[in-house]
Amino acid sequence: METNFIILRFLWLEKSIAVSLDYSVENNSFPLTEYYFWPQSDAWDDIRIFLENSTWITQSESIYLLNTLTEVINYWQDKNEHDLKNLENAIKLFTRVRFVNS
């Protein structure tokens, strides 16, 4: 089992969703990026640029992270209400990311 990997961390807010990248080492995680807030900025593109400039991150991992980022943003956008129930569902759906609630 891989013990070191990159994690998408989302800050689930009412009017935006923020994303950052963490590096997980065993039971600890360390921030790699600041939070990028969507829709205020193009968070997807900000993460893409970071990944492209991080040569130690494989292309397959970058693709996985960007695809997952897209899925979470789409889920956040498509929900009927911005409530905790939707966050609870997102936690169940996206098991390889971490969510923070305001």
pLDDT tens string 16-72 = 899 999 999 888 889 999 999 999 999 999 999 999 999 999 999 999 999 999 999
Total domain count for the chain?
Answer: 1
13 neighbors 90 (Cβ within 8 angstroms): no
Q: What confidence tier does 2 reach under pLDDT thresholds 50, 70, 90?
A: low
Confidence check: pLDDT of 101 > 60: yes
- DSSP tag of 96: T
Instruction: Give the residue numbers spanning the domain of 49.
Output: 4-101
Q: Is the pTM of this model over 0.85?
A: yes
Question: Is the Cα dihedral 48, 22, 98, 57 positive or negative?
Answer: positive
Neighbours of 97 (CB within 10 A): 19
- What is the model's pLDDT at position 1? 43
Q: The domain spanning residue 13 has which CATH number?
A: 3.30.390.140
- What is the model's pLDDT at position 86? 80
